[in-house]
Amino acid sequence: MYEKLFQTIDGQVDDLVELTGDLIRFPTVNPPGEAYTPCAEFIGERLKKQGFDVELVRGEGTPGDTDRYPRTNVVARFDGRGPGPTVHFNSHIDVVEAGEGWTVDPFGGVVKDGRVYGRGACDMKGGLAASIIAAEAFIRVNPDFPGAIEISGTVDEESGGFGGVAYLASKGYFSKPRVDHVIIPEPLNKDRICLGHRGVWWAEIETKGEIAHGSMPFLGDNAVRHMGAVLAAFEAELFPALDRKQTRMPVVPEGARRSTMNINSIHGGQTEDFRPGLPSPNVPDWCRLTIDRRFLLEEDIAEVKGEVTSILERLKQERPKFDYRLRDLMEVQPTMTERDAPVVTAVAQGIREIFDREPDYVISPGTYDQKHVARIGHIYDCIAYGPGILDLAHRPDEWVGIADMVESAKVMAIGLDILLRGGAGSRPL
């Protein structure tokens, strides 16, 4: 039913591999946000040649945006020959640092054994390349399609997406009536549909004390001991309570199918700057802890915060001189697209056609740019679907499979056909 589409994509495999390598060769490392502009321009040039209208949009004044490291995004749009919905493919172009342990050049785009290697191959330049090939093939086979297709390459996803999708969403690029359906080709595996992610609350807790000579600690008040009491209460009450909170969200891996909290850091008293000398003997008058709490659709953010503040307030009653300050650092609401949403059913049908099996429906343990699409853009018909293998993201010798990219490009093209042409396949409308 989709023969022409498949043949067209199969004919573009060399192009797909070359495109993926070209994208990897831009070292778009974040932080600091290297090579964003040339990478965005490269994507724009390619799509312009295919007939897309292309815009470069700088996330002016967003975190990290400077003239040396401008937050340059690219948004390309191809309008079909008639009214209809818009399908938007959004990929982030930033990658994390290469790190140690590579056996190939992380920014070489090396092709070996049916794979393209490099930092960002899987997360998510391979996904971006697959979506470009899918859209181009769809347009070539169906020049009269109604509606529109958009492809964006956006920055800073790895650091929260504020200069990328959040900025664009605040400017109307991810809102109705401009956009109806969003597919984010993050590496969630080619036969899985990611419906959303858990929520996030980052906070800093500070306990206060009073400085004194370390030989007479009773004259001061030790902020680190107060924090010890906080941690003891977390261990005794909070962590077991979080373990018990199960969710209907199909989070992968399964260990994340409940509430979790990480202690990101703890610092108190003098810093280690005295090295290689010796510290001076002081009672620490401050101690700070940062927490990373991941929460569920079934939980309310006020309740999540309340669990922590009630422990802190109780300690204030129980412990002499205990005082604290709690500072919110970041919060993200959990989001989950329903299984009967149009973009989900369209991509699910693509997976059935290509793999002859039902897709797995999953939820990401961590967040990605879907949060901004939903919260700022108010587009709830959004999923992550892409060819990369999740476990390879951010690792040394990251790669993306060429066959995986081809198959997922076919799934995406079928998704386009269903969303824009009602699943007419090779038939004219």
Cβ 190 to Zn ion, closest distance in Å? 15
- Displacement of CA 73 from its chain's centroid (Å): 16
Q: Which is nearer to Zn ion, 307 or 398 (CB)?
A: 398
Q: With contact defined as beta carbons under 8 Å apart, do 8 and 137 qualify?
A: yes
Q: Which is nearer to Zn ion, 11 or 366 (CB)?
A: 366
Q: Which is nearer to Zn ion, 147 or 401 (CB)?
A: 401
**157 flagged as catalytic:** yes
Please list every residue from 71 through 100 that binds Zn ion, using CB under 5 A. none
Q: Which span sits near Zn ion by CB under 5 A: 82-90, 117-125, 162-170, 237-245?
A: 117-125
- Displacement of CA 423 from its chain's centroid (Å): 29
Q: Which is nearer to Zn ion, 124 or 374 (CB)?
A: 124
Cβ 170 to Zn ion, closest distance in Å? 21
Q: Does 123 bind Zn ion (CB under 5 A)?
A: yes
**Residue closest to 165 by CA, chosen among 178, 179, 155:** 155
- Choose, from 123, 136, 156, 157, the residue flagged as catalytic: 157
- Displacement of CA 85 from its chain's centroid (Å): 25
Q: Which is nearer to Zn ion, 35 or 124 (CB)?
A: 124
Cβ 64 to Zn ion, closest distance in Å? 17
Query: By three-state DSSP, how is residue 381 classified?
Result: coil
Helix axes 301-318, 223-233, angle to 10 degrees: 130
Cβ 162 to Zn ion, closest distance in Å? 15
Binding mask 270-309 for Zn ion (x = CB under 5 A): ----------------------------------------
Q: Which is nearer to Zn ion, 57 or 384 (CB)?
A: 384
Alpha-carbon span 39 to 22, nearest angstrom: 9
Cβ 164 to Zn ion, closest distance in Å? 11
Q: Residue 42: count other Cβ atoms within 10 Å of its Cβ.
A: 19
Q: Which residue is nearest to Zn ion (CB)?
A: 123
The pair phi, psi for residue 238, each rounded to 5°, is -70, -50
Residues in the chain, overall count = 429
Alpha-carbon span 137 to 66, nearest angstrom: 37
Q: Which is nearer to Zn ion, 64 or 220 (CB)?
A: 64
**210 flagged as catalytic:** no
Binding mask 181-220 for Zn ion (x = CB under 5 A): -----x----------------------------------
Alpha-carbon span 128 to 91, nearest angstrom: 6
Cβ 123 to Zn ion, closest distance in Å? 4
Exposed e or buried b per residue across 29-38, where buried means at least 16 C-beta atoms within 10 angstroms of its C-beta: bbeebbbbbe
Q: Which span sits near Zn ion by CB under 5 A: 35-43, 118-126, 260-268, 372-380?
A: 118-126
Q: Which span sits near Zn ion by CB under 5 A: 120-128, 133-141, 266-274, 297-305?
A: 120-128
Q: Residue 93: count other Cβ atoms within 10 Å of its Cβ.
A: 28
Edge-first strand listing for the sheet containing 286-295: 260-268, 286-295, 199-208, 324-332
**Residue closest to 1 by CA, chosen among 405, 357, 417:** 417
Q: Which span sits near Zn ion by CB under 5 A: 124-132, 145-153, 205-213, 347-355?
A: 124-132
CA dihedral 330, 362, 242, 313 (to 10 degrees): 20
Q: Which span sits near Zn ion by CB under 5 A: 69-77, 121-129, 252-260, 276-284?
A: 121-129
Q: Does 124 bind Zn ion (CB under 5 A)?
A: yes
Helix axes 402-421, 3-10, angle to 10 degrees: 140
Alpha-carbon span 391 to 188, nearest angstrom: 9
Cβ 194 to Zn ion, closest distance in Å? 11
Q: Which is nearer to Zn ion, 182 or 212 (CB)?
A: 182
The dihedral built from the CA positions of residue 398, 40, 370 and 243, taken in this order, carries a sign that is positive
**Residue closest to 170 by CA, chosen among 181, 162, 158, 180:** 162
- Choose, from 34, 65, 94, 285, the residue flagged as catalytic: 94
Q: Which is nearer to Zn ion, 139 or 184 (CB)?
A: 184
Cβ 5 to Zn ion, closest distance in Å? 27
Q: Does 135 bind Zn ion (CB under 5 A)?
A: no
Count of residues interacting with Zn ion (CB under 5 A):
3
Cβ 393 to Zn ion, closest distance in Å? 6
Applying CB under 5 A, the residues found at the interface with Zn ion are: 123-124, 186
The residues annotated with a catalytic role in the active site are 94, 157
